[in-house]
Structure 1
Amino acid sequence: MIPSTQPLSPLRRRMLDDMRMRKLEPRTQEAYIRGVRKLAAYLKRSPDTATVEDLRNFQLHLVDTGSSPVTLNATLTGLKFFFDITLGRIELMAKMQPVKLPRTLPVVLSCEEVSRLLAAARNIKHQVALSVAYGAGLRASEVVSLKVTDVDSQRMTLRVEQGKGAKDRYAMLSPVLLQRLRTWWRLGHAQGKMLPGGWLFPGMAPMDPLSIRQLNRAVHAAAEAAGIHKRVNTHTLRHSFATHLLERKVDIRVIQVLLGHKKLETTSIYAHVATDLLREVIGPLEPMPPA
């Protein structure tokens, strides 16, 4: 959490303590506080005085002012924590219902586009970090959290500590990716950027890791330099990793494990964007004689 210069109210302090007790991620805490702050601004009074009708009208207000489904649901999640955990009055949320999110297909790059993007990275650190995102299918947060000791060249794995859902897992490490990592390690070590047991991709200071924002900026800069006009970010490389494996006939359950997905249905979305699979299907019109 970013420290505030204003004194905290007892109510906010209690909510912060409740979140800290449960070891919620800083970004989650910020999102929950943001939701309660929105309610207080709407009510123009303390949020703990809200009634069931107040909350219902607040949700209508969010809809009428153009809040996206993602923003609306995130706000409701924060309010649910506040009223259930901090106040112990979950019954006030009875008429607050999350909205259904529209299902969208992920943006996927072709193998040729991935190759161009990686080659266009501004420096070797960014190039190798993006190679890890694509070559191992890691999330941006997982890439920047890697340490030198997480690279296991004997077992050809990358150890992902406390990924999404606070779970450890192993990701694949291909020979090409290992070679790129070794090239980066030699350069980073010679420049004094790589500390023993330190971050695999340090930021400006060796003691700090590369940030997610810096990594996404690197993707955007590389995509622009490569002439790729699709809307891409670091997660696009993870989507491309899964899609390309599926197109190479890798079992979807294996891809599920590599991605660290809890449910197979989450992984199955890539079947909708694996265009190579679609091209192999013989349509029912093909066997018919020409008109």
Structure 2
Amino acid sequence: MKTRGTRAPAVLRGVVLGIGALAFLFPFYYMVIGSLQREPDQSVAGAFPQPGNLTFENYVTIDARLDLVRSVINSGIFTGGVILCTVVFATLVGYALAVLQWRGRGAVFALAILVQVVPFQLLLIPLYVLIARSYGLADNYLGMILPFAISSTAVIIFRQYFLQLPQAIFEAARIDGASEIQLLTKIALPLVRPALVTVVLVTFIGPWNEFLWPFLITKRADLQPLAVSLANYLTNVANSTANPFGAVLAGAVVLVVPIAVLFVVFQRHFINTDVSSGVKG
């Protein structure tokens, strides 16, 4: 009786979690199924279409209209540039705030927290004037990347992880003649790999899904990332296709798949974030 009593809550918890998982995954399933339907069916029955109604024609259609491969490459360049700049600058600033001793670092950290409460939309006009008119970087990858080159969230993440590292490690390395760059690259970063992976994944989501800023800064279709290309397709040419609903869903699937794959591959790094275990080892 005691065994059954202890198993019942576990079974109930498993059932509830299973139902929640199905409810969470159903929109993604419906998106994939909708992207494969030749004849659109937006009713509930459309979630379970006939096999003869499934095809890849929608992917071919949207690729022909907006050059899907080129749009994905543009998104990759935009996102990769943002990730590279964010990791480099955030590690340097986070290390300076956590390890180095200098006057005013508390004020700088407070400013990094304060920046997070400022909506990005409030900065769009001055950023556009600065980057497009003053720097002349409209219709340019660098113009897309610059506003996202450093993230206060990434700075805070790295700072908190660096604070967990024993200061004795850095003092011993300094006595041995190591420079601060060597301390950062050879000692600090290897011990905070979970933070590095977390920052990369969190940073990836923003520029990969970003629409408003690339839409403002780019007018050339061959430079626009996938999110902007999909919006232009939906506005301009979707009504001229036989199945605009399926074509838009096909583009959405292409937009979502890289994010889903990254989280599936690196999800264990979100679980194993105990830096102290790496320090003790």
**Same fold, TM-score > 0.5, yes or no:** no
TM-score with structure 1 setting the length? 0.29
Larger relative strand fraction: 1
Structure with the larger RCO, 1 or 2 (CA within 8 Å, 6+ apart): 2
